[in-house]
Amino acid sequence: MTMTLARFQRLLDVRRADPARWPQPERGAAELLLASDTAAAVALEEARALDALIARGAETHADATGVLRALAARPLPPQRRRFLWRRWPSELLTLEFAPAWPRLAALAGVAVLGFAIGLTDLGPITVTTNSEDLTSIVADNDIGEVVFAPDPLPEAHP
Amino acid sequence: MLRIATGDEPAFRVLARRYAPLALRLARRVMGSSADAEEIVQEALLRLWVNAPRWRPVASFRTWFYRVVINLCLNRKRRAPFLPLEDVSDPADPTPDAAAGMERRETDRAVATAIAELPERQRAAIALTYHEGLSNAETAAALGTSISAVETLLVRAKRTLRQRLGPMLDIGSKLT
């Protein structure tokens, strides 16, 4: 992996001038560039100086006494609560069903069930008491006869 | 937060004492005005109390609270023009040398002004990463954006700061 000066400058801007913060794959390339390009070394020094300048105000203490006093001086407003019947859509949306495999297993199960139902071809339910009628209904519904017959539609040939 | 969600007022006071200084520091940096920052932190804490029953622990509390503060800052800045930092005040000078102290104060003032003149989201990104110590990912969560967007904000902000503080970068390197 090679690194350009522009990429090195971006690394300095995004991850600061501290090699410990650089991602491992880029650190080696950055060090190679530093060893071969004086402009990269100058950029590193400049970035260190800029980081130091920006960070100088980091430890400024903020005295929040005024805020806390103002808060204490007034009664707190009522809290906003939502009842379950109003929040159930968002609750459902934010539910995390992790890990994902039970969902995948359920989906696969439903797919297998649907496939099996499709193969069995349940057909219309007809109430009859005559055994011959029942036989003809079953025969009419037996699509397997059409599918697996050697030549199911002989009349279709010219 | 769970106790606050049940209406536990003392728990809220404890949390407010702990986080108000952090929020105030951040709001001051983004707003550039102590008075506005105090109002924003007060508002943020009240929102925290009011909405506590609906809080969900999807992110760290600190990141979530920073996000509330940042949003309030940005909303207020859309309504009001930016005021330059009024309290880039002279920090206590530990050096015995008055000239060095003066130089240091001048540098601090110039840096604070340069940061204050950045666009608000760039300023917020700098404040969160450099001054609040958040990672780029945490900063993205606090700003409600992606990590790559935060990186772009940082690149632009630092390019501007390099241009404005160019002459001081030598001073900065001496000071480190």
Residues B15-39: what's their mean pLDDT? 89
A34, part of any domain: yes
Given a contact cutoff of 8 angstroms between Cβ atoms, the answer to whether B173 and A53 are in contact is no
One-letter amino acid at B138 equals E
Q: Could you say which of A67, A82, A94 has the minimum Cβ distance to residue B56?
A: A94
B75 to each of B79, B83, B85, how far by Cα in Å?
7, 15, 18
In a shared domain, residues B140 and B107: yes
Tell which wins on pLDDT, B79 or B44. B44
Sign of the dihedral defined by the CA atoms of residues A17, A18, A19, A24, in that order: negative
Domain that holds residue B150: 98-175
Q: Virtual CA dihedral for B74, B75, B80, B83, nearest 10 degrees?
A: -20
How close does chain A come to B34, measured CA to CA in Å? 10
Q: What is the CATH number of the domain that holds B16?
A: 1.10.1740.10
**Set of chain A residues whose Cβ sits within 8 Å of the Cβ of B54:** 80-82
Choosing among B8, B12, B25, which should be mutated to test the A contact, i.e. which has the most A CBs within 10 A? B25
ipTM: 0.76
**Set of chain A residues whose Cβ sits within 8 Å of the Cβ of B5:** 79
A27 Cβ under 8 Å from any chain B Cβ: no
Given a contact cutoff of 8 angstroms between Cβ atoms, the answer to whether A67 and B13 are in contact is no
Distance CA(B64)–CA(A8), nearest Å, equals: 32
In a shared domain, residues B58 and B111: no
Give the number of other Cβ atoms within 10 Å of residue A130's Cβ: 9
In the listed set B44, B79, B114, which residue is the last one of a domain according to the structure?
Answer: B79
Domain that holds residue A42: 5-55
Q: Which tens digits make up the pLDDT trace of A93-127?
A: 555 555 567 778 888 999 999 988 888 766 555 55
Say which range, A8-22, A96-110, A128-142, B47-61, has the weakest mean pLDDT. Answer: A128-142
SS3 assignment for chain B = CHHHHCCCHHHHHHHHHHHHHHHHHHHHHHHCCHHHHHHHHHHHHHHHHHHHHHCCCCCCHHHHHHHHHHHHHHHHHHHCCCCCCCCCCCCCCCCCCHHHHHHHHHHHHHHHHHHHCCCHHHHHHHHHHHHCCCCHHHHHHHHCCCHHHHHHHHHHHHHHHHHHHHHHHHHHHHHC
Which three-class secondary structure state does DSSP give residue A157?
coil
In the listed set B31, B47, B79, which residue is the last one of a domain according to the structure?
Answer: B79
One-letter amino acid at A64 equals A
Token pair for residue B63?
């990141």
Q: What is the CATH number of the domain that holds B102?
A: 1.10.10.10
B60, part of any domain: yes
| Confidence band for B153, pLDDT divided at 50, 70 and 90 | very high
Q: Could you say which of A14, A50, A76 has the minimum Cβ distance to residue B151?
A: A14
pLDDT value of position B80: 54
Report field, pTM of the whole predicted structure over 0.90: no
A24, part of any domain: yes
Q: Determine, for residues A53 and B22 on separate chains, whether the beta-carbon distance falls below 8 Å.
A: no
